[in-house]
Chain A
Amino acid sequence: MAYTEEELKKELETKEYEYGFYTDIESDTFPKGLNEDIVRAISKKKNEPEWMTEWRLEAFRIWEQMEEPEWANVHYEKPDFQAISYYSAPKSADPNKSLEDVDPDLLEMYRKLGISVDEQKRLQNVAVDIVVDSVSVATTFKKTLAEKGIIFMPISEAIQEHPELVKKYMGTVVPKTDNFYAALNSAVFTDGSFCYIPKGVRCPMELSTYFRINEGGTGQFERTLVIADENSYVSYLEGCTAPSRDENQLHAAVVELIALNDAEIKYSTVQNWFPGDKEGKGGVYNFVTKRGLCETNSKISWTQVETGSAVTWKYPSCILKGDNSVGEFYSIAVTNNFQQADTGTKMVHLGKNTKSTIISKGISAGQSQNSYRGLVQVNSRAENARNFSQCDSLLMGNKCGAHTFPYIEAKNKTAQIEHEATTSKIGEDQIFYCNQRGIDTEKAIALIVNGFSKEVLNKLPMEFAVEAQKLLEISLEGSVG
């Protein structure tokens, strides 16, 4: 994805959400509504073993008893869970097919998304699993990865092929009872990615999943499980897009990361779900639970660039269970027009000498509301825990809002916790200064925003950093002046 400067500039001229196309693929969609029969039907459709069906049903029963959370600083019309279809698969999808057999319309869609599901990826060292609506369509590089003993496949296949791993780890970091949306996901998830890195293996390429909601009136509930066995390393990226639609689409994912002793997982997200139009109509509700568990000497690093969704509710977190484990959270959240984001992280220090770093950059424009919500918790046994948090907000215009809700709970006297926060506004003075040097306003904003986000952009794998930078610019176009 080596964009030339020229391409970048061309892309910059695009004002509207550029992934807002709908591909007309015949799809196999369940009737709307949710009950035990639907849960069973999903499980059956996936040809799942009995234990999985039971697991889902248990989650469904838990969900039924739960109430939708209201503590986040977001306001929206609650989804009608009976008006959503919980399963939609492009009819032509068959996981056993090879790439040549994939529906040309689907391939065309990937082309529009800018992902080439072909050998080009080998050059870029990226293996991709693509989830459209509810089904995983193609996983590239299975063979290359298999030689190293790495398992990277749709979770539906993993349930069939590696039930022992799935059974052992699924729901251990994000239990079914965790929260309303996690319970819902546990009951109805249709696909997602599964990744296992064996002991001592350094994954030789970036693993990537691309999620896309295509069908109208459907929810997407993907489930991702990444296990890095002892002393292994993996870098994982997920990208998300959805077509522009008037109605709100629901996305409730669960991502679980497990870093065993001495392992390292780097998980990067570029989230560009449809944010709704300029009047605040439509857009994706993104209610996601992401959490990682760190065993001794391990490290989990979350990096996210959030530019899309009408409403975002998302806190990628780390449970620092093992001694000397490290958790990191680097985030850029952009909101424009009527978008609302309530995002941040939880760092739970349980082990000794655990360290966490939080760098959060919120950028609000238009009439949007952008909140950082973070928890740093130091358990009584966590000797010498360290945390550094930095939350910066950048405001554009007078109608948007930035909010910071940092929670700190320290139960051990040896803990060292630092929190820094700044709020600034892109000033007319800054713009005029740039203008005077020959830089027009759009470019000036891009420059200022990129400067503001630099610490986080630097954490992304190179090829995605370029994409993320471009996304930031597109998301904020026309927001000043």
Chain B
Amino acid sequence: MSEGIGHNVPRVDARSKVTGEAIFTGDLKLSGLLHGKVLRSPYPHALIRRINTDRAASLPGVVSVLTSTDLEDIDPYYGHSIKDRPLLAIDRVRFVGEPLAAVAAEDEVTAEQALSLIEVEYEDLPAATTLEEALSDDAPRLHETDTLRPGLFHGLGELNPDGNICYQHSIHRGDLAEAFKQAEIIVEQEYTFPAVYQYAMEPHTVIAAWEGKSVTVWASCQHPYLVRAELAELFDLPVASVRIIVPFLGGGFGSKSYTKMEPITVALARKARRPVRIANRVDEAMVTTRRHNMRCWMRTGALADGTLIARHVRLWMDTGAYADNGPRVVATAADAAPGPYRWKSFQVEAYCVYTNRPPSGSYRAFGATHLQWIGESQVDEIARQAGVDPVDIRIQNLLRPGEEVRPGGKALDADLVGDVQKIADALDWGSPKPPDTGRGLGVGLLAAGARPVSTAIVRMEIDGHATVLVSSTEMGQGVRTVMSQLASQELALPIEHIRVPGGDTWITPYDRSTGASRSTTLAGMAVHRAAREVRQQLLEIASQAFEVALEAIELRDGAAWRGDQSLSYSELIQFHFGFTGGELIGRGEVSPGGNKGSYAEGPVFWEVCVGGAEVRLDRDTGRLHITKLVSVADVGQAVNPDLVKAQEMGASMQGLGNALFEEMIFDEGQILNGTLLDYHIPTTEDMPDQFISRLVENEDGPGPYGIKGAGEGALAGVPAAIVNALADIGVQVTELPLTPERVWQALREAEAEHDDGGSPS
């Protein structure tokens, strides 16, 4: 089938997206729709002494004003990993931008105006707005850690909270002290990673309509079923009474994972008894979620020949005022910290820290992006000291397929050595370099897949067309196209006869989430199985119709063939029901079975994070120009190679932004660069001269046809490659992003050191 797997089928959503017909949440209109606006805290930490909403409520056009007093009939706390967050601030605010009241009005201007009429009396509290402050002995406490409740989906084992640390996680193997004793080369350094904004171009948008004892929510969310569960628990409803509908998402990248603006919108609709829309502005989206800034200390030991033997890592991640997905980010960072090498011993101690800053959550390749550039720069430094080529030291030390990555976890399922060689080839590794030009590479692994729980239904209707019901969210990655191709492959049906509507928890069946590069592998497996059930039914009906054995039937182009005789699927379904109606239904599921379901036994697969870069340095300004970026997508089997490449390009470009200039700057917990005028993301003028993506298809994944996921790895691989390329020119940095000024400062320091070293003292 030319439209099944392995083919570059054009995106099934492309036409609607180039004509403006594609509907995003903010494009929907409902009759009686109210506009919701949120009052946010101007203080990083303060007690709320009094809120007076009288003037706001009496403004003509205002329908409802919501504060925490409206939530007294429910348990208003949520949080999928730690249930630490009130739907609206109760008694105290913990970050600049925290919602403490909301207004629903007939129009946006009235809603805005009403916000300005809400009187709030605050009492300033001492704030811990940095990791250092939060970890100090006399730090103000953000939460009573002894009463922290785990959330519905924490999957983290013990939280081990302590002071402002809400979660700690450690992994280790072997005798660390003994291994370091043998080390002949030791590299040790502290590093800093900045807070980064995901900037999905569509800010969070939610519409909620409360009807009797049920609620319908249109949400720009990645994980409708997890949002449903949290809303059902918050508002004490059966899960089936919460309906989540997900139109097209204007980008996700993790920023729309788990629950964000949905609870406030639902609470407002519940009070107003009319549908309400809340559409975040970009500055509000920035205080809704972000990437964790991090402090890290790392020590790596090796033998004189470059054999890596020991690594010790401590890392502290700033999860902001509420945990959000912080604990999972910290656990994944810990997984990524050792890097994919054959250690005698390693130890990682990872801490998730509350601060009086906006909450941090998921962002594409979290954990791996944080750690890989650090680990890989130490590997390169060891290579320099050992006099070994960076490619060779990796071939020498990289794990081979089947080897243990971390204790108790899944063995390596990728050919990292082959991947690294592909990067080296694409970079012309050994070739002479122009002046002030460096090359670097980075290799790592990302624990991918999240919980392997997905279900799907395939319906084949009376006209022989199929509808694939699956709750994976189309956020740009092309999941509707991929699911169409997987169904097309099994059903032997042209793709234009297959429809994949968006997620709707009343209609499309359970899928854990859309993230962690899991959809093609896991939801794809469910679709594959559901389509196979329909395929089997078609074969059985055809066997009856033709009165031959199943094996004599071939399914091709939407019809069953026996020799040169054929019956279309439509005819087969009519034959089966004896009527011009009826449909065939196939179901598919993926489940870890009866296992204990601990993440520790994961991941579903290891996603490779492999990148290469060639950079040119302008010594006068410190500006880096990226001449070449390379990524490797080690995907087992590509359903649609063009879509894989598109993911690689997008992830690489985000990696470039994370490496070179993206950084949220805070002062006393207040964001200073809260608009796109001051927060720069990559534009067409930041593109590298050349981008090369190599596809590796070893059919070694757990999905159908050996598929495994992709789309995140390059974001972690690229910063590591750029950092190492810069070090190749002689400039070592321990803090991202590599802004021209930071690089220029590093150059000056390097020159000063060089001058000192050369002086005849």
Instruction: Tell whether A and B belong to one assembly.
Output: no
Q: Which residues of B contact A (CB under 8 A)?
A: none
